[in-house]
Amino acid sequence: MMKLYGVHHGGEYSFGGLSLGSMSVSPAEEMLQAIHDLPKRSTVGVEFIHPEYFEDEDNILELRDEDEQYWQEITDACADGGHSVAYLDSYDIHRRAARKRAELAQLRSTLRSGEYHIAPGQERTVTEISFGLEAEIDYLHAVAREDHIIQELEKLHPGLAIIGLAHSDYVMLNPELAVKLGVSEYWKVLNDAPELPIGMLPVVEDRPVRVYQYLEQSPPDPSRLNEREFATRTKYAVSLGRIMLGTEAEWIGSWELSNRPYGLFELYPTSVTGGTVEDRLGTAEYTGEFEEDRLEFTKKYIASTTYDPTTIFEDITYEAVRTSETDFEGYWITYGMQGKFIIRKGSHLYDPVDTNYGQQTMF
């Protein structure tokens, strides 16, 4: 059986909405005591990479001193208790994300410099590559790392595991997974208010603000599932040109012509006049008319299956006419906003975005 702790292990401290610097977080004493109380020679899983990767000359991991200090306190407690440490995070995934961050930074720097000009007709390509790199980075951090951590937990079966709160909430939101991993207790390890001098406003300083932690047993946050699904759908839209896998859409389109993966959507009829729409934001219902040379439909997102908190829940109306043998093009409008869209029969709108696209072919 495994005791699972979901932790906040760092971050920025803000006051009145203004970021003032980093936090130096001290692990909860109750959690350290739980490590001490384990039977000798137990295994403790931690969401950190193996120390052999700490000498990271290229700063692939973007490690902060405060993060290292937090995990070091935990691994020191393991050593003091005579326990072994299982490092659950993946250096390889961090390295892949770092490579994509570097490519994205280089692309943005090149565009800002004014040294190169985008070739006519390549504006959309550049936009989609940039969006695709962002999507890959988000997916690697939010989904790929999480999957790796869960696989390591399943393989190693530690007596106690300490992982990020988003990952632990995901485990607990999936009861079958929690049972499979042998979770016997679940604790959230939350950050208390920062330690500040009484009567003084915080100021920006070089040294991190000291923060202590406390334990809490409370339900997992359902929004963790939304974040993961949103990152997954965005990744699919970029790398596969699809939203839903394992099924064929009746219609496919995009409500953002300058960045087709961003607005990719698929229609699944349940009747002649209606059905569901699937896109990156979630699931919507639609009703409308689809004729030989024109179509019109209205969609409305379903709150319980929407993954982006910025989603508009007003009715969105789409009207289009046939512009070619395969395509319909027109306008969508809602709540004082409008834009162009394209739609066609089937499940293919564009080829997957090549995020390894070289700069020499873009300019």
Distance CA 319, CA 331 (A): 6
Structural domain contains residue 302: yes
Mean pLDDT, rounded, for 102-128: 86
In a domain, 231, yes or no: no
Q: How much is the pLDDT for 175?
A: 96
Whether the per-residue pLDDT at 201 is higher than 60: the answer is no
pLDDT in tens, 22-68: 778 899 999 999 999 999 999 999 999 888 876 655 666 677 778 88
**192 or 283, greater pLDDT:** 283
Q: pTM of this prediction?
A: 0.89
- Report, as an integer, the average pLDDT of 78-85: 96
| Same-domain check for residues 176 and 51 | yes
Q: What's the confidence (pLDDT) of residue 37?
A: 96
Q: Domain check: are 171 and 285 in the same one?
A: no
pLDDT reported for residue 232: 97
Rounded to whole angstroms, how far apart are CA atoms 337 and 104? 30
pLDDT digits (tens, 9 = 90+) for 242-259: 999 999 999 999 999 999
59 and 131 together in one domain: yes
**Both 322 and 194 in a single domain?**
no
- Longest Cα–Cα distance in the chain: 75
What total of structural domains would you count in the chain?
Answer: 2
pLDDT score, position 120: 80
Do 160 and 86 reside in the same domain of the chain?
yes
CATH number of the domain that residue 268 is part of:
2.40.128
Same domain for 244 and 100, yes or no, is: no
For residues 107 and 208, membership in a common domain is answered with: yes
Based on the domain organization, do 122 and 251 belong to the same domain? no
Question: Mean of the pLDDT values across residues 228-241?
Answer: 97
Residue 231, pLDDT > 50, answer yes
In a domain? residue 358: no
| Residues 115, 45 share a domain | yes
Q: Cβ(183)–Cβ(156) under 8 Å? A: no
- The answer to whether residue 19 sits within a structural domain is yes
Final residue belonging to a domain, choices 167, 194, 224: 224
Q: Which of 224, 252, 268 is the last residue of a domain?
A: 224
Most confident of 51-60, 144-153, 296-305: 144-153
HSE (side-chain half, CA atoms, 13 Å) at 183: 24
Tell whether the torsion through CA atoms of 255, 256, 257 and 259 is positive or negative: negative
**Judging by beta carbons within 10 Å of its beta carbon (0-12, 13-18, 19+), is residue 319 exposed, middle or buried?**
middle
Beta pairing, strands 327-334 & 209-216: unpaired
351 in any annotated domain: no
Work out the end-to-end distance of the chain between its first and last CA atoms, rounded to an integer number of angstroms.
Answer: 57
224, 255, 272 — which closes off a domain?
224
Question: What was the pLDDT predicted at 67?
Answer: 83
pLDDT band at 10 (very low <50, low <70, confident <90, very high): low
pLDDT band at 111 (very low <50, low <70, confident <90, very high): confident
Task: Determine the average pLDDT of the residues in 285-290.
Answer: 97
Q: Does residue 229 lie within any of the structural domains?
A: no
Poorest-pLDDT segment among 55-69, 147-161, 313-327: 55-69
Q: Would residue 350 count as lying in a domain?
A: no
The residue ranking higher by pLDDT, 363 or 131, is 131
Out of 8-12, 38-42, 312-316, pick the least confident: 8-12
279 Cβ partners below 8 Å, 6+ apart?
A: 233, 243, 255, 263, 264, 265, 266
Q: Which domain holds residue 36?
A: 2-224
Mark whether 246 and 199 lie in a shared domain: no
9, burial (CB in 10 Å: exposed 0-12, middle 13-18, buried 19+): buried
Reported as a single tens digit per residue, the pLDDT across 331-359 is 999 988 999 999 999 999 999 998 885 54
Q: Look over the chain and give the mean of its residue pLDDT values, rounded to a whole number.
A: 89
- Whether 362 maps to a domain, the answer reads no
Do 254 and 214 fall within a single domain?
Answer: no
Q: Predicted confidence band at 360 (pLDDT cuts at 50, 70, 90)?
A: very low
**Over pLDDT 70: what percentage of the chain?**
88
CA distances from 13 to 47, 215, 349 (A): 22, 20, 44
Strand order across the beta sheet in which 183-191 lies: 12-15, 18-26, 209-216, 183-191, 2-7, 160-164, 43-46, 84-87
pLDDT at residue 211, rounded to an integer: 84
212-229 pLDDT per residue, tens: 899 999 999 999 999 999
Q: Is pLDDT of 196 > 80?
A: no
Q: Do 255 and 311 share a domain, yes or no?
A: yes
Instruction: Give pLDDT, residue 48.
Output: 92
Name the pairing type of β-strands 282-290 and 264-269: unpaired
Q: Tell me which amino acid residue 303 is.
A: A
